[in-house]
Amino acid sequence: MTCDVRLLTQAFDPASAQADFAAAHPAAGGIVSFLGQVRCGDGVAALELRHYGPLTLPGMEELAEQARRRWVLDGLLVVHRSGTMAPGDPIVLVAAAARHRRDAFAGAEFVMDHLKSDSWFWKRELAGGVWRWIEPRHEDFDDIARWN
Partner 1 sequence: MPARLVFLGRLEDLAGAPELTVAAGPLAQVLAALDRELAIALLVDRVRLALNGEVLAERGGIVLADGDELAFLPPVSGG
Total of chain residues touching partner 1, rule CB under 8 A: 25
CB of 99 to partner 1, least distance (A): 27
Sign of CA dihedral 17, 23, 24, 25: positive
Residue from 49, 57, 79, 104 in contact with partner 1 (CB under 8 A): 49
Residue of 92, 96, 104, 108 that binds partner 1 (CB under 8 A) = 92
Distance in angstroms (rounded) separating the CA atoms of residues 119 and 127: 24
Query: Would you say 28 or 96 has its CB closer to partner 1?
Result: 96
List, in sequence order, every beta strand (DSSP E) within the chain.
Answer: 2-8, 30-37, 44-51, 75-81, 83-85, 90-98, 121-127, 130-133
- Largest interatomic CA distance in the chain: 49
* Residue 19 interacting with partner 1 (CB under 8 A): no
In this chain, which of 2, 18, 89, 122 binds partner 1, going by CB under 8 A?
122
Among the listed ranges 5-13, 21-29, 51-59, 99-107, the one in contact with partner 1 (CB under 8 A) is 51-59
Cα–Cα distance, 99 to 112 (Å, whole number): 20
Of the pair 31, 60, the CB lying nearest partner 1 is at 60
Residue 50 within binding range of partner 1, rule CB under 8 A? yes
Q: Helix 56-70 vs helix 101-118: angle between axes, to the nearest 10 degrees?
A: 150
List contacts with partner 1 (CB under 8 A). Answer: 36, 49-50, 52, 54-55, 80, 91-92, 112, 115-124, 133-137
